[in-house]
Every structure is written in C-alpha cells, then in structure tokens.
C-alpha cells in the first residue's frame, strides 16, 4: 500500500465517520495505513447495520436461537482508545486511560482474536472504556467473520466499563449504578457500585434469560472488602427479585468478582441450599486451568460465571473452559471463562 492511499481513502465518500478519525491519524503516520485499510472493508460492509449504542443494541439481526448457548465473560484489561473522549474525564494526556494509536489498534485486534476463537453467542466484557471502543471491537470481529449485531454499554463514572456483545437480540436493559445499599447485617455506610451491575434481558429457544454483568471493587490499596461484599450481596438481591417476578427465567451473574471462591463476596452471590447458584468457573477442565488471574505468582480464580438453579440444570459441564493460550495472555492479564448452556 502506498503512502498516498490514506489521503485517497479519507476523501472517499463511502468511508463512515467512525473511520475518518483513524484515517486522519494515518495520514501523518503511514506505518499504520495497512491496519486501517484492512478495516475499511469491514466498515463499508457495516454501513446501514447501525452501531454500538450506549445503552442500546446494534442492528436488527441476530437470533432467538435453538440449541446450545455459549457464554463468555472476560476482563479485557484497560481496553482504552487513543482519544480524550470518556465521560469519566480520566483519559487525558498522562492519564492511565489513553493509549497511543498504534497500541489501540493492536489491543483491539488481540482482544478480537481471542473472542473470535472462543466464538461465544454472548460475551460479557469488563474494562472497556466506552461505546466507541465496543463498536471498534465489534467491527474487528466482523472482519474475522464473527458477527455481533447487538451490543450494550451504559456509561458510568468509571473509565473501565462493563459491556456486552451478543448474537442474541437484547430486548431490554437496565443500569444499577445509582442503586444504594449496605453490607449484610449493617445499617451504614451506604454504598453504590464501583462501576455497575449491568442487566440485560434476552430470549433463547423460548426461554427468558437475564444477564447480570459485574465488576466488583478491586483489592488495590486502599482495599474495601465491605464494599465488595455489599456489591455482591446487592447483586444477588437483584437476581432474587428477577427470579421472584419470573420463576422460569434463566439468570446468570458473571464477571470479575475480584475475590476468590469461599470469600464473603463469592458466598453472598452463590448462596446456599435449594437456591444456590452453580459457578461454571470451578468446574472447568482440566482442573489445573481453574484460575483467571496471576497475582504475585499466585494463580487466582476471581472471574466467575454463576447460574441460577434453573439454568444450572442446562449447563454442559464438558464445555467449560478457561483458556491460557499465548493469545489470551498477550491481550489481557485475565483469562476468559467460557461455558455452554443447553437452553430449553
């Protein structure tokens, strides 16, 4: 490709606005031109499909489906773009939430490759900066042959958002970022989510499904285990309310719990007795793969995928995996969790 091509492409009336910002940068950085022209075909193919909206779904495609439904949750680690454009205001020069143009191009390609290889019907992701990043990722996947016409990201005050890419239409969604709650057994202090509990409603094979995507308070200093516990307990309360309103709904609570099996937050979500949830993460094979994060040499299982009793009965335990491939490790410091549910 010649260095004149980016200029020609930038003036091409067939180029969508979302790509023009990339082309503007490439004009002054010809080394990036190959990546952008490769993206041009996918952007042209996407014209008329709609984009990833904040708090909405993209396009009218997708399927309510039959057979197995593969779910992946994954913390993509600091998946920021190269612009100062986040509502949180934490992505200016010198801030953590600002990548170089070349680093952003590489990051979204690496993340897309992992998701493409796992081929989920629904991907629940953590640490995406905003809706533009989600849309760029969706289009990277489309170029690889993985079409996700439905997406969801509702902005919060945190630069590391929760997002959903889906082949299944998102019928409705809800944010819980303004909910107020306390830790179990206390009256104060009052907490709200560090990020959100992102609620999405779908239908698969005639079964109503509810996704609750979470990313609980981290353990970085200053740690606040009570807040993490409060977030976990409130999430289970949300799920229990959904189940009470629709006992036939399949419910998943999944994402980065930032805590281990048998910890108070973990136990608050999974529950006990007849109403106990099932965590796919602890059933992954081989057993040696049951970790999602490495901290100071310790292999920790902090990313969970929990299903309510009804949906747990449809879990294909042989399908559960936590891959630790080179491509996963290049893309993030977390490993994804993948499981298939034979929804009926």
Same domain, 146 and 40: no
Closest by CA to 210, choosing from 244, 160, 260, 161, is 244
pLDDT of 1 strictly over 70: no
Does any domain span residue 196? yes
Does any domain span residue 52? no
- The 10s digit of each residue's pLDDT in 206-255 is 999 999 999 999 999 899 999 999 999 999 999 999 999 999 999 999 99
Full DSSP string of 268-281: HHH--GGG--EEGG
Closest by CA to 104, choosing from 123, 85, 78, is 78
Does any domain span residue 53? no
Same domain, 278 and 191: yes
Does any domain span residue 61? no
Please check whether residue 165 is in contact with residue 151, taking contact to mean a CB–CB distance below 8 angstroms.
yes
pLDDT at 280: 99
Q: Which two tokens stand for residue 56?
A: 């909405």
**3-state secondary structure string, the chain?**
CCCCHHHHHHCCCCCCHHHHHHHHHHHHCHHHHHHHHHHHHHHHHHCCCCCCCECCCCCCCCCCCCCEEEEEEEEEEEECCCCCCCCCCCCCCCCCCCCCHHHHHHHHHHHHHHHHHHCCCEEEEEEECCHHHHHHHHHHHHHHCCCCCEEEECCCCCCCEEEEEECCCCCEEECCCCCCECCCCCCCCCECCCCCEEEEEEEECCEEEEEEEEECCCCCCCCCHHHHHHHHHHHHHHHHHHHHHCCCCEEEEEEECCCCCCCHHHHHHHCCHHHCCEEHHHHCCCHHHCCCEEECCEEECCEEEEECHHHHCCEEEEEEECCCCHHHHHHCCECCEEEEEECC
pLDDT of 35 strictly over 50: no
pLDDT at 93: 61
- In the chain, % of residues over pLDDT 70: 80
CB count, 10 Å around CB of 242? 18
Same domain, 257 and 225: yes
pLDDT of 46 strictly over 50: no
Which of the four pLDDT bands, split at 50, 70 and 90, describes residue 95? low
pLDDT at 85: 84
pLDDT at 2: 34
Same domain, 14 and 103: no
Task: Domain of residue 25: give its range.
Answer: 5-46
Which of the four pLDDT bands, split at 50, 70 and 90, describes residue 82? very high
- In the chain, % of residues over pLDDT 90: 75
- The 10s digit of each residue's pLDDT in 269-328 is 999 999 999 999 999 999 999 999 999 999 999 999 999 999 999 999 999 999 999 999
Q: What is the CATH number of the domain that holds 168?
A: 3.60.10.10
Closest by CA to 10, choosing from 322, 314, 337, 32, is 32
Region 98-124: mean pLDDT is: 97
Region 60-74: mean pLDDT is: 79
Tell me the residue ranges of DSSP E strands in 51-139: 68-79, 122-128
Same domain, 132 and 199: yes
- Residue entry with tokens 């969801």: 152
Same domain, 39 and 78: no
Same domain, 35 and 184: no
- The chain-wide mean pLDDT, for the chain, equals 86
Does any domain span residue 97? yes
Does any domain span residue 54? no
Same domain, 26 and 149: no
Does any domain span residue 62? no
Which of the four pLDDT bands, split at 50, 70 and 90, describes residue 94? low
Same domain, 153 and 212: yes
Which of the four pLDDT bands, split at 50, 70 and 90, describes residue 92? low
Same domain, 133 and 246: yes
Same domain, 236 and 331: yes
pLDDT at 88: 73
pLDDT at 96: 67
Same domain, 20 and 116: no
Query: What total of structural domains would you count in the chain?
Result: 2
Which of the four pLDDT bands, split at 50, 70 and 90, describes residue 329? very high
Does any domain span residue 63? no
């Amino acid at each position: 490709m010649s260095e004149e091509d980016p200029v020609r492409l930038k003036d091409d009336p067939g180029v969508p606005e979302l790509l023009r910002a990339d082309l503007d940068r490439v004009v002054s950085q010809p080394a990036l031109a190959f990546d952008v022209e490769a993206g041009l075909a996918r952007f042209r193919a996407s014209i008329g499909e709609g984009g990833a909206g904040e708090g909405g779904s993209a396009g009218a495609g997708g399927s309510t489906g039959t057979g197995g439904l593969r779910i992946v949750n994954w913390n993509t680690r600091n998946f920021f773009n190269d612009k100062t454009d986040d509502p949180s205001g934490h992505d200016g020069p010198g801030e953590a939430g600002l990548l170089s143009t070349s680093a952003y191009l590489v990051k979204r390609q690496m993340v897309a490759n992992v998701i493409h290889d796992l081929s989920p019907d629904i991907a629940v992701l953590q640490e995406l900066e905003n809706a533009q990043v989600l849309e760029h990722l969706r289009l990277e996947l489309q170029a690889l042959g993985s079409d996700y016409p439905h997406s969801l990201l509702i902005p919060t005050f945190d630069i590391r958002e929760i997002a959903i890419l889906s082949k299944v239409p998102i019928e409705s969604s809800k944010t819980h970022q303004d909910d107020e709650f306390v830790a179990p057994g206390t009256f104060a202090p009052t907490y709200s989510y560090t990020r959100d509990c992102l609620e999405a409603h779908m239908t698969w094979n005639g079964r109503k499904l509810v996704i609750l995507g979470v990313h609980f308070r981290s353990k970085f200093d200053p740690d606040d285990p009570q807040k993490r516990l409060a977030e976990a307990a409130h999430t289970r309360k949300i799920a229990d309310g959904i189940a009470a309103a629709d006992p036939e709904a399949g419910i998943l609570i999944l994402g980065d719990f930032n805590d281990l099996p048998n910890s108070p937050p973990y136990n608050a979500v999974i529950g006990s007795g007849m109403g106990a949830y099932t965590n796919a993460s602890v059933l992954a094979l081989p057993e040696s793969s049951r970790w999602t994060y490495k901290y100071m040499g310790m292999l920790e299982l902090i990313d969970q995928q929990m299903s309510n009793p009804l949906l747990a009965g449809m879990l294909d335990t042989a399908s559960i995996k936590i891959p630790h491939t080179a491509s996963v490790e290049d893309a993030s410091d977390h490993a994804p969790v993948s499981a298939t549910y034979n929804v009926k």
